[in-house]
């Protein structure tokens, strides 16, 4: 295999060199990775070139989250390079996260030499077997001549159709051996069998527009598919909402697809969504679901989900259709393309919405809105976490800001109180709910946007999960602002224990926390503690004005719960509201307790 | 066989896949990972020139589950086509079984008579045993096995179902 005598005019290169060439041809600018024995030839090839920048993380899990942050903030695929065995297994959480949230990732994993595979060699793991269920597809390269084709195919698969993570497992000998590489015609690259859908069926689009025009109580329910489809898709969504005058709600993954400041936006829906969004979803007569997947955080109890509506579902992945909720009109296609078709159909057909019915619908919605479900009372002594996010928003909204989060209460408060006007500004772990996502994701975002403000809204428990990535941020002088809502609890778990497990707070206290100021200082960063509501604004300004990385340890009310909340097992319009009397609260059933 | 399969209708699904390493593991992993039932599974290369294999799966589930199985299969990158043979019109299903019966005297003679009725062939014989080869749909094979049970049934090896749509249209 390793001979250099080959026919044809293409020069032979080592597998590692072919890999780097193919990545360069794909326009890859950044790789997040961590070296090791099996990937030494690749690191050698990286050393010999200047077109691709390598960002050295501190643990491979961080590399995948950083690549996810990079991908979400740019719309480009994120690229990861890790070694065999533990390098690959550490990447699994990030791969699963990217799979659940449909993030395009190409993850290159080292592997022991071909002849050692299956022999329990040092740092060998069955990476293909382990990553099969948590990737969109994976490849084991078995021939150096195949390297180039597989790399390009992997990018095609990761970025076309419903995006997702793709693993390429690279045995060490394949990277050392010589092979041929020719740059393919990337614009016309087609997969042998994989044909992702693009446009929707014209008659289905026409039927959908017809339904929309006749709707009395319509709602747009839009998700992360809009972000994945791109800024044009989001612009088309805005146009369609403006033309129809329908209310719109976004999922957690869809925040930013529609400007939050617009009066037609009802806020996020779902388990911690707004009263008006969830009630409008429940009572609507036509639901237009665009690039969302009727996730269990959205639907609540399935048999009580929006019982009287006709449902239109636009999704690029046919397996999302009728998975949880039976819909009346499925449209398979890229949501941006389908929106383009819908707009054309609406305009060409001279359709108008039912204005009278819409007026009544909006009156009903205003009634729900006036319930002011996100209200909280900020006293003089202790900072409410909602207030902290609200002030952060007010002081950063006019800046070029990107927000990442970890997972838990702080994440939901960020989703509720930080208002996103544009797509790609909000990076969070939705489907998998991976604590420790936010800090490495922020690293990826800041690498992509070095001059922008990147804030990781964090919780003290989540922050500790990938705290080692502070070192990465320091190495590349990334001026991240880490805004820890520190309530000294694993807050969301504590909240569930309080509401569903008789306040038996089993193992959820954040014991033995570090002094975050000293922690920042020991890495060479700046730390600050914010304790008084009265000093919050000044402290946030100081954080923003400080050069370099800052950790702000915001001491917030410890027992604060995140409301509204649809308890598990309840219908999506049965919400616990923050200032409810206990009598009004939906009962948590035994069945609900068994649900996550 | 799970509880589900006793109440949910059976479906035979044919899956045409790229004949690449690990493709069977992808299909089987999909079924176990998502909690679908596999009652029988056969796989073999059917088009060596174009590197295609065909997997026949007998599964069970209500309409929503079967639609999901189909969509999830189609989502796998090396899967070329998925056909629900049960849903898409008439099809022929066959299975082959090798059945070892250990018997002497009257039981041995009765086993041969039953085999004759089922058009099963004895493909191996000793003075106190037979191996029968029987083909047919799964119901026929089950009936044959049931009859052999009291006659000295010792061992069964079944291929699982292979199936193909009737008519001129090819997959």
Q: For residue A288, which of A341, A228, A247, A340 has the smallest C-alpha distance? A: A247
| CB within 8 Å: B77 and A136 | yes
Q: Is the Cβ–Cβ distance between A513 and A460 less than 8 Å?
A: yes
- Give the gap in angstroms from C-alpha B33 to the nearest C-alpha of chain A: 8
- Give the gap in angstroms from C-alpha B5 to the nearest C-alpha of chain A: 20
| CB within 8 Å: A322 and B74 | no
Tell me if chain B has a CB within 8 Å of the CB of A323. Answer: yes
Q: What is the reported pLDDT for A275? A: 97
**Does B65 lie in the same domain as B134?**
no
Of A1, A49, A122, A422, which one is the catalytic site residue? A122
Give CA–CA dist B91/A382, Å, rounded: 72
Is residue B171 in some structural domain? no
**Does B80 lie in the same domain as B102?**
no
Which member of B26, B71, B75 has the closest CB to residue A132? B26
| CB within 8 Å: B77 and A157 | yes
Is residue B169 in some structural domain? no
Would you state the structure tokens that stand for residue A250, as one six-digit string?
Answer: 């976004």
Direct distance between the N- and C-terminal alpha carbons of chain A, in angstroms, rounded to an integer: 52
Which member of B18, B25, B67 has the closest CB to residue A132? B25
- Residue whose pair of structure tokens reads 């022929």 in the numeric block: B92
Helix (H, G, I), strand (E, B) or coil at A92: helix
Is A563 labeled as catalytic in the residue annotation?
Answer: no
Tell me if chain B has a CB within 8 Å of the CB of A422. Answer: no
CA distances from B163 to B28, B90, B158 (A): 18, 10, 15
- Which CATH number fits the domain that encloses residue B106? 3.30.70.1150
CA distances from B165 to B41, B63, B83, B95 (A): 17, 20, 9, 15
Is residue B128 in some structural domain? yes
**Does B62 lie in the same domain as B23?**
yes
Of A60, A68, A460, A560, which one is the catalytic site residue? A60
- Give the gap in angstroms from C-alpha B52 to the nearest C-alpha of chain A: 11
Which residues, numbered 133 to 152 in chain B, qualify as contacts with chain A under a Cβ-Cβ cut-off of 8 Å? none
| CB within 8 Å: B29 and A137 | no
CA distances from A466 to A6, A109, A410 (A): 48, 21, 16
Give residue B1's pLDDT band: very low, low, confident or very high (50, 70, 90).
Answer: very low
Tell me if chain B has a CB within 8 Å of the CB of A317. Answer: yes
Q: What is the reported pLDDT for B47? A: 85
| CB within 8 Å: B77 and A133 | no
Domain boundary among B53, B84, B115: B84
**Does B66 lie in the same domain as B135?**
no
Chain A residues touching residue B77 (CB < 8 angstroms)? 136-137, 157, 191, 193-194
| CB within 8 Å: B68 and A318 | no
Is A172 labeled as catalytic in the residue annotation?
Answer: yes
Interface test with B, best of A132, A149, A153, A159 (most B CBs within 10 A): A132
- Closest Cα in chain B to A325: B64
Is residue B168 in some structural domain? no
Which member of A132, A193, A319 has the closest CB to residue B71? A319
**Does B80 lie in the same domain as B7?**
yes
Q: Other CB atoms closer than 10 Å to residue B113's CB: what's the count?
A: 11
Would you state the structure tokens that stand for residue A176, as one six-digit string?
Answer: 């050392």
Eight-class DSSP state of A382: S
pLDDT, tens only, B129-163: 999 999 999 999 999 999 999 999 999 999 999 99
Residue A49 backbone phi and psi in degrees, to 5: -140, 170
Q: Is the Cβ–Cβ distance between A470 and A525 less than 8 Å?
A: yes
| CB within 8 Å: A322 and B68 | yes
**Does B104 lie in the same domain as B68?**
no
In total, how many domains does chain B have?
2
One-letter-per-residue 3-state SS of A168-207: EEEEHHHHHCEEECCCCCHHHCCCCCCCCCCCCCHHHHHH
**Does B44 lie in the same domain as B23?**
yes
Give CA–CA dist A257/A228, Å, rounded: 10
Which member of B75, B77, B79 has the closest CB to residue A317? B75
Interface test with B, best of A150, A169, A318 (most B CBs within 10 A): A318
Which member of A137, A192, A323 has the closest CB to residue B68? A323
Q: For residue A53, which of A37, A68, A70 has the smallest C-alpha distance? A: A70
**Does B98 lie in the same domain as B140?**
yes
| CB within 8 Å: A132 and B29 | yes
| CB within 8 Å: A132 and B74 | no
Give CA–CA dist A575/A427, Å, rounded: 26
Tell me if chain B has a CB within 8 Å of the CB of A303. Answer: no
| CB within 8 Å: A321 and B71 | yes
**Does B73 lie in the same domain as B25?**
yes
Chain A residues touching residue B62 (CB < 8 angstroms)? none
- Closest Cα in chain B to A140: B21
| CB within 8 Å: A192 and B29 | no
Is residue B71 in some structural domain? yes
One-letter-per-residue 3-state SS of A573-596: CCCECCCCCHHHCCCCCHHHHCCC
Domain boundary among B35, B56, B84: B84
**Does B135 lie in the same domain as B101?**
yes
Interface test with A, best of B24, B66, B71, B171 (most A CBs within 10 A): B71
Interface test with A, best of B18, B19, B23, B75 (most A CBs within 10 A): B75
Is A60 labeled as catalytic in the residue annotation?
Answer: yes
Of A212, A253, A287, A492, which one is the catalytic site residue? A492
Tell me if chain A has a CB within 8 Å of the CB of B80. Answer: yes
- Which CATH number fits the domain that encloses residue B46? 3.30.70.260
Which residues, numbered 112 to 131 in chain A, qualify as contacts with chain B under a Cβ-Cβ cut-off of 8 Å? 128-129
Average pLDDT over residues B51-76: 95
Of A123, A378, A468, A498, which one is the catalytic site residue? A123
| CB within 8 Å: A194 and B77 | yes
Is A123 labeled as catalytic in the residue annotation?
Answer: yes
Please list the residues that pair with A457 across neighbouring strands. Answer: A405, A483
Is A210 labeled as catalytic in the residue annotation?
Answer: no
Give CA–CA dist A327/B152, Å, rounded: 54
Pick out chain A residues at pLDDT < 70: 1-10, 580-589
**Does B100 lie in the same domain as B41?**
no
CA distances from A162 to A101, A165, A196, A221, A226 (A): 10, 10, 8, 18, 11
Domain boundary among B84, B106, B134: B84
**Does B65 lie in the same domain as B96?**
no
Is residue B148 in some structural domain? yes
Is residue B51 in some structural domain? yes
Q: Is the Cβ–Cβ distance between A440 and A62 less than 8 Å?
A: yes
Eight-class DSSP state of B136: E
Chain A residues touching residue B33 (CB < 8 angstroms)? 133
Is residue B61 in some structural domain? yes
Tell me if chain A has a CB within 8 Å of the CB of B21. Answer: yes
Domain range for B68 = 3-84
| CB within 8 Å: A318 and B64 | no
Eight-class DSSP state of B145: H
pLDDT, tens only, B86-103: 999 899 999 999 999 999
Q: What is the reported pLDDT for A8? A: 47
Tell me if chain A has a CB within 8 Å of the CB of B16. Answer: no
Model confidence, pTM: 0.94
Q: What is the reported pLDDT for A192? A: 85
């Amino acid at each position: 295999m390793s001979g250099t005598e080959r026919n044809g005019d293409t020069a032979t290169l080592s597998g590692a060199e072919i890999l780097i060439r193919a990545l360069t041809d794909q326009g890859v600018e950044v790789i997040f990775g961590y070296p090791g024995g099996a990937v030494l030839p690749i690191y050698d090839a990286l050393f010999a070139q200047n077109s691709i920048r390598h960002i050295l993380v501190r643990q491979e899990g961080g590399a995948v989250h950083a690549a996810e942050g990079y991908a979400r903030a740019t719309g480009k695929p994120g690229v990861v390079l890790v070694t065999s065995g533990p390098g690959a297994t550490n990447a699994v959480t990030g791969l699963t996260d990217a799979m659940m949230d449909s993030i395009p990732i190409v993850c290159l994993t080292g592997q022991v030499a071909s002849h050692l595979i299956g022999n329990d060699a040092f740092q060998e793991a069955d990476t293909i077997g382990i990553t099969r269920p948590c990737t969109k597809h994976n490849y084991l390269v078995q021939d150096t001549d195949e390297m180039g084709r597989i790399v390009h195919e992997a990018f095609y698969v990761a970025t076309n159709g419903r995006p997702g993570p793709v693993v390429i497992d690279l045995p060490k000998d394949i990277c050392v051996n010589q092979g041929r590489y020719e740059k393919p015609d990337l614009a016309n690259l087609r997969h042998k069998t994989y044909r992702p859908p693009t446009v929707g069926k014209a008659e289905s689009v026409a039927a959908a527009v017809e339904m929309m025009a006749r709707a009395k109580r319509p709602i747009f329910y839009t998700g992360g598919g809009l972000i994945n489809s791109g800024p044009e898709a989001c612009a088309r969504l805005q146009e369609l909402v403006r033309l129809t005058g329908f209310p719109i709600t976004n999922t957690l993954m869809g925040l930013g697809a529609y400007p939050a400041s617009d009066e037609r936006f009802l806020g996020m829906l779902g388990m911690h969504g707004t009263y008006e969004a969830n009630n409008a979803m429940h009572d609507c007569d036509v639901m237009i679901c665009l690039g969302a997947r009727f996730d269990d955080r959205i639907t609540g109890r399935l048999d009580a989900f929006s019982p009287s509506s006709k449902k239109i579902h636009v999704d690029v992945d046919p397996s999302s259709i009728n998975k949880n909720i039976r819909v009346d009109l499925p449209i398979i296609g890229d949501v941006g393309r389908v929106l383009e078709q819908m707009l054309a159909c609406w305009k060409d057909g001279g359709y108008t919405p039912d204005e009278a019915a819409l007026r009544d619908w909006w009156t009903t919605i205003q009634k729900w809105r006036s319930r002011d479900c996100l209200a909280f009372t900020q006293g003089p002594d202790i900072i409410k976490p909602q207030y902290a996010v609200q002030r952060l928003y007010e002081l950063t909204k006019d800046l070029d800001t990107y927000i990442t989060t970890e997972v838990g209460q702080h994440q939901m408060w960020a989703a509720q109180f930080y208002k996103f006007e544009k797509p790609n500004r909000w990076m969070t772990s939705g489907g998998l709910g991976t604590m420790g996502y936010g800090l490495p994701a922020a690293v990826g975002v800041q690498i992509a946007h070095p001059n922008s403000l990147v804030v990781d809204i964090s919780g003290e428990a989540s922050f500790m999960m990938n705290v080692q990535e502070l070192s990465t941020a320091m190495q590349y002088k990334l001026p991240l602002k880490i805004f820890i809502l520190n309530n000294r609890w694993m807050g969301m778990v504590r909240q569930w224990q309080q509401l569903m497990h008789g306040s038996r707070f089993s193992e959820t206290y954040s014991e033995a926390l570090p002094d975050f100021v000293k922690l920042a200082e020991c890495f060479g960063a700046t730390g600050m503690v914010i304790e008084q509501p009265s000093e919050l604004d000044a402290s946030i300004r100081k954080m923003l004005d400080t050069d370099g990385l800052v950790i702000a340890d915001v001491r917030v009310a410890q027992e604060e719960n995140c409301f509204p909340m649809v308890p598990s097992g309840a219908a999506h319009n049965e919400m616990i509201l923050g200032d409810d009397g206990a009598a009004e609260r939906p009962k948590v059933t035994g069945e609900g307790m068994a649900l996550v | 066989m799970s509880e589900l399969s006793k109440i949910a209708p059976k479906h035979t699904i044919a899956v045409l896949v790229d004949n690449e390493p690990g493709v069977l593991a992808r299909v089987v992993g999909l079924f176990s990972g998502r909690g679908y039932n596999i009652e029988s599974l056969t796989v073999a290369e059917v088009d060596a020139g174009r590197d295609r294999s065909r997997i026949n799966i007998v599964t069970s589930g209500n309409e929503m589950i079967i639609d999901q199985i189909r969509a999830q299969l189609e989502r796998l990158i090396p899967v070329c086509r998925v056909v629900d043979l049960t849903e898409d019109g008439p099809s022929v299903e066959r299975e082959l079984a090798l059945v070892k019966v250990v018997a002497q005297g009257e039981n041995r003679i009765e086993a041969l008579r039953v085999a004759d009725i089922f058009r099963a062939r004895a493909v191996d014989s000793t003075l106190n045993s037979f191996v029968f080869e029987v083909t047919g749909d799964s119901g026929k094979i089950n009936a044959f096995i049931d009859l052999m049970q009291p006659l000295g049934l010792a061992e069964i090896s079944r291929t699982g179902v292979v199936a193909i749509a009737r008519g001129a249209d090819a997959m």
